[in-house]
Amino acid sequence: MGRGILWVLRDRVRWHASRAFVLLVTALVGCTTTPASVGQSTAPRDTGQADRPLVILVGVEPATVATRGFVQKGAGLHVALRIFNALPTLIDARGQPQPELLASIPALHTDTWQVFPDGTMRTLYTLRPNLTWHDGEPLTANDFEFAWHVYSTPELGLASQPPMSSITDLEVLDREHFVINWSVPYPDANTLSLYNREFPPLPQHILAGAFDQMASTGRDAFATNSFWGPEYIGAGPYRMQQWQQGGSIDAIRFEGYPLGAPKIARIQLRFGNDQNVVMATLLSGEAHVATDSSIAQAAETLRAQWAQTNDGAVFRWPNAWHATAFQLRPDLANPNAILDVRVRKAIAHAIDKQAINEAVYAGQAIFADTPIWEGSAWGEALDDSITTYPYDPRTTEALMSQAGFVKGSDRFYQGADGRLSLELVTNQNPDFVREILVMADGLGRAGFDIQQKVLPSAQSRDGQVRATFPSMFTSNTNLGDSALNYLAISQIPSQANRWVGGNRGGWVSPEFDRILSSFNTTLDRGERVDLVRQMLRIYSDDLPLVSLFFSAQPFAYVRGLTGPAIAVPESNLAWNVYEWEFR
C-alpha cells in the first residue's frame, strides 16, 4: 500500500481519536476572527512598468532557494531565500513574529500552547484560509505533515536538527489545523521560522512520489530532485519563472501570497561580486539593488558618490558572525598542533583586528569577541566573565613557548616536527580575499608560517570541502543563538549527514551541548540569558573559532525604490519585500 494512502487512513483514525480536541479548535476559531494581514496594502500596484524588473545583485548563485534543502544554501543569500518562501510566521524589522501562513500565533499557557508536567508540549496551529502554492494547488495542513515526514527522515540528514529533533509527531486535524506534539519544551514553537530552524511546509503533490521511491532510488535522488533547483515551487511573495544556471533567476509576483500580492511585478536576481561590474550596473541604472555579499569594498565609494547625486542610498546590516574556525577533528587536523588550545589562543592574540578593519573595511567593521552581538536578542548575556583575545604579541609568544614552540632562525615557530605551517582558507569574496592577505601578513610577522587558499564560488557551496580544511577557515555564519546551535556536536558535517551542519571544525564539547540543550528547552527568558552566558564562557575558554567581526553587510539601492530599511539581525532585510515599491 502506498505511503500516501497510509497517511490518509492514519489521519482518519487520528481524527476520531482527537474529536474532543477538534471541538475545542472549532470553539476557538468560532470566537475569534482572522487578524488582518500584516502590512497588507490595498494601494494600487504598479502598472506602467510591468516589463521593467527590479534587478537585485547577489554575491553567488544559490545551490537552492528552499529555506530548508539538503545542500548548502550559499553564502548569505537572505533575499534570495525570502522572496520565494513563506513560513508559519514572519520575523519583522523589530524581531517580532507576525503571522504569515498562520492565521494567528500560538500563545503560551493557552489552549494553543500547552506545557505538561512531564515537560512535553502540544501546540495548535491554524492556517490562513485558502492558501495555495505557486502552482495554484492548495497549501494545507497535510503539507506540513508531509514536511515533518521528510525532515525527520534520518537518511536525509536533518532529523537531528531543531525543531525536528524535539518533535514527537504532527497531527492533521483538518485542512487548516494541525497539532505538533513536542518531546521537550521548545521555546520557539510559536514561530517555527527562525533562520536555520525553520519548519516550512513542502508540496506533497509534487514531492510525495519521489519521497516514496527513496527506498529504491536512494537519498541522493530525492535530495537533488529538480524541485530543489530550477523547478522550485514555494508560497512566498514571488514565484520562479526561469532559472538560467550561472546567470540569473527571473521571478514574478505571486498573486496568491497571503499578505497581499507584491507591488513590484517582477524581480530578477543576478549573480556575481565583481566590484567593477556591481558599480557599473548600479550607476548605469541597469541594476537597482546590491545585497547578499555582492557589494563589498565598493560600498563606501558608492555611498560617497550617491551622497553627491542623491541617486541612491547605502546602509549596513549586521547580520553575520565572521570568524576563523580551527580544524579540530584529529584525523583531519594538519598540523596536529592546532588541537592544542594554547596554540589556538596564541593565534587569536596574534590577529590584529584593527589592522584588518582599516585595510579592508575602511574602519567600519564591528569587532566581535563571541557569536553574540550586543545589539542582538541575546546581547544582555555579555559580561566580563567571558574571555577575550585582544591583539597581544607578547602573550602569543608566551603561549607558544608553553606549547613547546620556539622561533627558528627564519623567525617562524618550530616544534619537534619542524616548522609550524598552517593553511588559512576563505571563500572567493573580494573582502575575504583582502582580509586573509592582511591576516596572513600579521600572523607571519608574529611567527606563524601561513599558506593562503581561496575557494572558488562553486567549491564554497560544497559542504564536504568547507568541512575538511586542514587548519583554519575564515567565513561568515549566522550570529546569535543560531551560531551557538551551530557549535553543537550534532552540527558536525559528515558523510552520514550529507555534510550538512554548521560545526565545520568538528568541535566536541559535551558540557557545551548539555547547556545548549537546556537553552533550547527552557521557556523562561531570564534563565535562557544566563545559559547563553555559560555557553559563551565555554566557547571562549576552548576557542574552537576566533571571533573577528560582525559582518555589517552593505545594502545598496537606487532612488525610486522604497521599502528597504535596517532590521534586527534576527530578521531579514527583505522581510517586507511584498510592500516594496519601484518607480
Same domain, 296 and 440: no
| Strand pairing category for 289-290 and 54-58 | parallel
DSSP string, 547-579: EEEEEEEEEEEETTEE------TTS-TTTTGGG
Question: Which CATH number characterizes residue 266's domain?
Answer: 3.40.190.10
pLDDT of residue 32: 38
Count CB-CB contacts under 10 A for residue 245. Answer: 10
217-248 tens-digit pLDDT: 988 899 999 999 999 999 999 999 999 999 99
**Pair 410, 513 in one domain:** yes
Residue 42 lies in a domain: no
* Distance (Å) of CA 208 to CA 2, 143, 222: 10, 10, 10
Of 191, 226, 261, the one marking the end of a domain is 226
Could you tell me if residue 38 is inside a domain? no
CATH of the domain at 146: 3.90.76.10
pLDDT of residue 543: 98
What's the rounded mean pLDDT across residues 193-214?
93
Close Cβ partners of 448 (under 8 Å, ≥ 6 residues apart) = 347, 350, 412, 413, 420, 422
Cell numbers representing residue 76 in the block: 548569505
Q: Report angle CA 254, 312, 557 to the nearest 5 degrees.
A: 30
Same domain, 205 and 338: no
Question: Within this chain, do residues 465 and 404 fall inside the same structural domain, yes or no?
Answer: yes
Question: 220 and 236 in contact (C-beta within 8 Å)?
Answer: no
pLDDT at 29: 39
Report phi then psi at 81, rounded to 5: -70, -35
Q: Are residues 323 and 462 in the same domain?
A: yes
- The whole-number pLDDT of residue 72 equals 59
- Region of 218 on the Ramachandran plot (φ > 0 left; ψ -120 to 50 alpha; else beta): left
In the predicted structure, residue 360 carries a pLDDT above the cut 80 = yes
Do 363 and 435 fall into the same domain? Answer: yes
Q: Which residue has the higher pLDDT, 562 or 361?
A: 562
Cα–Cα distance, 9 to 15 (Å, whole number): 10
CA distance 53 to 65: 19
Report which of residues 169 and 364 the model is more confident about: 169
Per-chain mean pLDDT for the chain? 89
Residue 539: give the domain boundaries. Answer: 319-552
Query: Is it the case that residue 27 has pLDDT exceeding 60?
Result: no
- Report the alpha-carbon distance of residue 407 to residue 577 in Å, rounded: 56
Residue 259, Cβ neighbours under 10 Å: how many? Answer: 23
d(CA 46, CA 582): 8
26 — pLDDT class (breaks 50, 70, 90): very low
> How far is 100 from 127, CA to CA, in rounded Å?
9
Q: What is the pLDDT of residue 346?
A: 98
**Per-position b or e across 346-381, b if 16+ CB within 10 A of its CB:** bbbbbbbbeebbebbbeeebbebbbbbbeebbbeeb
- Nearest Cα to Cα of residue 531 among 501, 511, 547, 545: 511
Type of residue found at 248: S
Query: What is the 8-class DSSP label of residue 100?
Result: S
Question: Is the domain of 68 the same as that of 180?
Answer: no
Question: Are 450 and 356 contained in the same domain?
Answer: yes
Asked if pLDDT for residue 364 goes beyond 90, the answer is: no
Residue 168, pLDDT > 80, answer yes
The reply to whether 113 and 184 lie within a common domain is: yes
Averaged over 454-464, what is the pLDDT?
Answer: 87
Give the CATH number for residue 532. Answer: 3.10.105.10
pLDDT confidence band for 33 (50 / 70 / 90): very low
How far are the Cα atoms of 35, 85, 126, 354, 538 from residue 102, in angstroms, in the given order?
Answer: 10, 14, 6, 46, 38
Which residue reads 520557539 in cell numbers? 188
Assign 414 to helix, strand or coil. strand
Q: Does some domain include residue 39?
A: no
Whether the CA torsion 391, 395, 401, 406 is positive or negative: it is positive
Q: Note whether 393 and 509 are same-domain residues.
A: yes
The predicted model scores a pTM of: 0.73
Most confident of 21-30, 186-195, 400-409: 400-409
Q: Which of 226, 258, 291 is the last residue of a domain?
A: 226
Q: Is residue 40 in some structural domain?
A: no
The rounded distance, in Å, linking the Cα atoms of 294 and 271 is: 8
| DSSP 8-class letter at 500 | -
Q: 292: left (phi > 0), else alpha (psi -120 to 50), else beta?
A: left
Furthest-apart CA atoms within the chain: distance in Å: 82
Query: By C-alpha distance, which of 471, 334, 345 is closest to 400?
Result: 345
Encode pLDDT of 537-569 as tens digits. 999 999 999 999 997 788 999 999 999 998 888
pLDDT digits (tens, 9 = 90+) for 1-24: 333 333 433 443 343 334 344 344
Asked whether residue 340 falls in the same domain as residue 463, the answer is yes
Task: Give the per-residue pLDDT at 76.
Answer: 58
Tell me the pLDDT tens digit for each residue of 462-478.
Answer: 889 999 999 999 998 88
Q: Of the residues 226, 259, 290, which one is the last residue of a structural domain?
A: 226
Lowest-pLDDT range of 38-52, 350-364, 405-419: 38-52
Per the domain annotation, does 257 fall within a domain?
A: yes
- Note whether residue 358 is domain-resident: yes
Contact between 407 and 413 under an 8 Å Cβ cutoff? The reply is yes
Q: Looking at the structure, do residues 56 and 178 belong to the same domain, yes or no?
A: no
231: in domain: no
Residue 28: other Cβ atoms inside 10 A:
16
Cβ atoms of residues 173 and 25 within 8 Å: yes
How many domains is the chain built from? Answer: 3
Q: At residue 189, what are phi and psi to the nearest 5 degrees?
A: -65, -20
pLDDT in tens, 96-111: 999 999 999 999 999 9
Dihedral sign computed on CA atoms, order 460, 465, 471, 476: positive
Which residues, listed in sequence order, are joined to residue 267 by a DSSP beta bridge? 54, 251
Residue 109 lies in a domain: yes
Band (75; pLDDT cuts 50, 70, 90): low
277-316, pLDDT tens digit by residue? 999 999 999 999 999 888 877 888 999 999 999 999 998 8
d(CA 191, CA 198) in angstroms, rounded, equals: 9
